[in-house]
Structures are given as C-alpha cells and as structure tokens.
Amino acid sequence: MIEKSKHVKKHNFSAGPCILPEEVLRKASQAVVDLDGLGLSLIEISHRSKPFVAVMEKARSLALELLGLEGKGYQALFLQGGASTQFLMVAYNLLQNKAAYLNTGTWSTKAIKEAKLFGDMIEVASSKDANFNYIPREYEIPSDVDYFHCTSNNTIFGTSMKDFPNSPVPMICDMSSDIFSRQLDFSKFDIIYAGAQKNMGPAGTTLVVLKEDVLGKVDRAIPSMLDYNVHLGKDSMFNTPSVFAVYVSMLTLAWLKDLGGIVTIEKVNEEKASLIYDEIDRNPLFKGFAAVEDRSFMNATFNLTDRGLTGKFDALWQEADINGLNGHRSVGGYRASMYNALPVSSVQVLVDTMQELERTA
C-alpha cells in the first residue's frame, strides 16, 4: 500500500487556479489581517496609499526583471478581465487590417474568434485535425499583417511550443500557463500576456508585458478600460486594481527570485516532467496524449490503455491525497499540471500511484 502522505497539503495537480508556494499563502493570509504591521488589512486600504503603490511597483518590476526585460523598452501591467480579455484587447489595440494566428488549441481558437471582430484573420496553421495533440511547424507568417499571435503552452492538450518563429511582424504570445517556468528569449515578443492563476497567483489579475513602440498604430477609438496606453499612462492604476491578486502575484515573483529565478525553476520543472513522462512511457497501463516532441512541461496529458481500470486508478490517486488529476473534457483521461510551486515529491507520489496500479491491476 502507498503510505498516506504526512504532508498537510494535498498533492495539488490542479490545472488552474493552481498550487501556490506555501510561504506565499502564509504571508498573504497574514497581510489580509494586517499588512506589514500597519494595523490595517491589505484589502481595506486605498490602492493609492503608499504601501499599495509600493506593492504594485514591486510586482511590475519583478515581472520585468525575471523575464530579463528591464531597460529594454518594456512595461508590465496588472490588468483585470483574465487572459480572455487580452484576446480582444490585443486586437482592439493592434489590428488595423489583418493579423496572423497559429491555432494550437482551445485558447488560441478563442483568441481567433475575438480577432475576427476587428479585421481579417489569417490562420497560418492549425493542429485541429488531430485534436490539437501537436504543434504545427511548417508555416509562414506573412509580412503584411499587423501582428502574429501564438500560445506558448496549451493547458488543455498538454503541448508547448519549443521554438518560436522569427516573426517579420510584432509577435504576441499568450503565456498564461507557462510564464516564468522556462528560459526563453522574451525580447522576441512585443506583447506577452498571462492570467495570473496558472503559474503566478490567484485569479483576478492578468500580467501584460508590452513593448511600448508596438502601440499607436490603429485608427479606431479605443474605450479607456481596453486601451493599453491609458493603463500605461496611469502606471497600471487607471481604476482600482485587483489588490489581493496583485499582492499575491508579487509574493510569488519574489519567491521565485529568491529561489534563483527562471534558470533554477526550469531545472526543477524539467525534473518533474521527466519523472512523469518516463513513467507514462514505461508503464504499459498508460499512454501519453501529446506528440512526444511537443510535450508540455507544465501539463502532462495521458490516458489509461484499459478504460476498465478507471475506477481503480481514481480510487488509488484519491487515497494518495492527489487532487486535480482529471483531464479536461475535450481530451478525457488525466492531466497532471506541474506548475512552479508543485514539489518534485508530489510528482513522485503520482508516479508511485501509477506503479501501484501496475502491480495490483
């Protein structure tokens, strides 16, 4: 039998909202009662007060610092409306005539739907023909489009882009589910956006990192709340920001910096990914969903080879205090989401459970 974990916390493989570092949760709960000995709660002070302005500024600068984008003409914003609002904000602010999109899954498809409201959309390639289990490689980005949009990690299907094209036009990327997880040349991108709740913080805020010179090229009038320039001009404080979500994101970014930044966490993420994928490939009871060369290090998708074992496997992992392993309905099976804060030991517990199934099936 697998020993019941003594860990007070469950092994949380939730795809989102996701696991956060324990020390971040502790500090955040303290701040909800009393922010830094102020005698006031984080969530009952003015967002224009000195302590909160400092939080926002720290969150913005940590984001740029961790991505290696400080002093390179980029700004970071913490906006509301989720990554889903970025699907339309990108197009609102940048799409004058046409834009090119790479369709690698559900989230890309949703981004494409919004772009079509603003101009012509060219789908350069799509992996829909195989239920998005791979990343298309042969495609060309036209040089006469306003921008190219891609999704770095496909949370639902468990694929990720290992290489990014040398785009002749500004490149925009939805990095919601793998930002801060691996080293990339982030300066290749003109806009990066990410809903906080996958790898950075609680739901309620979205990080937008943008190069200022990408703006100001469309004729249309843009409503203030959807205008990047308005938010930039107000240092991400045009309206009341989601103070709690920004604060917790700031704590997570500070935690990551203390750990050694993306270089360090990338090694841990590689270790977790090899643990789970080695087991999926070795264990005859499991089969991976995504094409091997496109496998995501954040979301591992897999199925049982014999569906008849579903009840047994589900009981085993639930007994092992594992949470959030069910796959998305469009893929079925299982999805192990291994965001930055998930310890290697949790993945080991899952692997042990898969081996336990093999021994007892």
- CA pseudo-torsion sign 290, 333, 199, 20: negative
Residue type, 40: L
- Residues with catalytic roles: 107, 174, 198
Measured in whole angstroms, the distance separating CA 99 from the mean position of its chain's CA atoms is 23
Question: Cα separation of 326 and 225, whole Å?
Answer: 36
Q: How far is the CB of 134 from ligand PLP (least distance, A)?
A: 16
323 lies in the site for ligand PLP, by CB under 6 A = no
If one asks whether residue 324 binds ligand PLP (CB under 6 A), the answer comes out as: no
Over the window 225 to 264, marking each residue x when it contacts ligand PLP by CB under 6 A and - when it does not, the resulting string is ----------------------------------------
Nearer to ligand PLP, 231 or 356 (CB): 231
Q: Examine residue 300 and tell whether it contacts ligand PLP (CB under 6 A).
A: no
What's the min distance (Å) between Cβ of 107 and ligand PLP? Answer: 4
Interface mask toward ligand PLP for 76-95; x: CB under 6 A: ------xxx-----------
Distance CA 13, CA 173 (A): 24
Strands 171-174 and 148-151: parallel
Q: d(Cα 174, Cα 106) in Å, to the nearest integer?
A: 12
- Among 84, 92, 44, 90, which Cα is nearest to 190's? 90
Q: How far apart are CB 354 and ligand PLP at their closest, in Å?
A: 25
153 or 303: CB nearest ligand PLP: 153
Q: How far is the CB of 245 from ligand PLP (least distance, A)?
A: 11
Smallest separation (angstroms) from ligand PLP to the CB of 299: 9
Residues 133-152 that bind ligand PLP (CB under 6 A): 151
- Per CB under 6 A, the list member of 75, 93, 155, 199 interacting with ligand PLP is 155
Is 296 one of the binding residues for ligand PLP (CB under 6 A)?
Answer: no
CA distance 12 to 325: 8
Residues between 6 and 35 that touch ligand PLP (CB under 6 A): 16
Asked if residue 136 has a cis previous peptide bond (ω within 30° of 0), the answer is: no
Inter-residue contact 311 to 320 (CB < 8 Å): no
Q: Can you tell me the distance from the alpha carbon of 341 to that of 318, in angstroms, rounded to the nearest whole number?
A: 20
Asked if 98 and 145 count as a contact pair (C-beta separation under 8 A), the reply is: yes
**Smaller CB separation from ligand PLP, 14 or 155:** 155
Residue 339 engages ligand PLP in binding (rule: CB under 6 A):
no
Rg (CA), the chain: 21
Interface of this chain with ligand PLP, residues 195 to 224, rule: CB under 6 A:
195, 198
- 176 lines the binding site for ligand PLP (CB under 6 A): yes
Question: Whose Cβ is closer to ligand PLP: residue 85's or residue 353's?
Answer: 85
343 binds ligand PLP, rule: CB under 6 A = no
- Count of residues near ligand PLP by CB under 6 A: 12
Beta bridge partners of residue 121, listed in sequence order: 99
Q: Which residue from 93, 126, 177, 249 is in contact with ligand PLP, where contact means CB under 6 A? A: 177
Decide if 21 contacts 213 (C-beta within 8 A): no
Contacts of residue 276, Cβ cutoff 8 Å, sequence gap at least 6: 300, 336, 338, 347, 350, 351
Amino acid found at 158: G
Tell me the closest approach of the beta carbon of residue 86 to ligand PLP, in angstroms.
8
Per rule CB under 6 A, is residue 114 in the interface with ligand PLP?
A: no
Whole-number minimum distance, CB 283 to ligand PLP, in Å? Answer: 27
Q: Provide the 10 A C-beta neighbour count for residue 189.
A: 25
Which residues, 302 to 321, sit near ligand PLP by CB under 6 A?
none
Nearest to residue 207, comparing CAs of 74, 299, 110, 106? Answer: 74
How far is residue 350 CA from its own chain's centroid?
22
Binding site for ligand PLP (CB under 6 A): 16, 82-84, 107, 151, 155, 174, 176-177, 195, 198
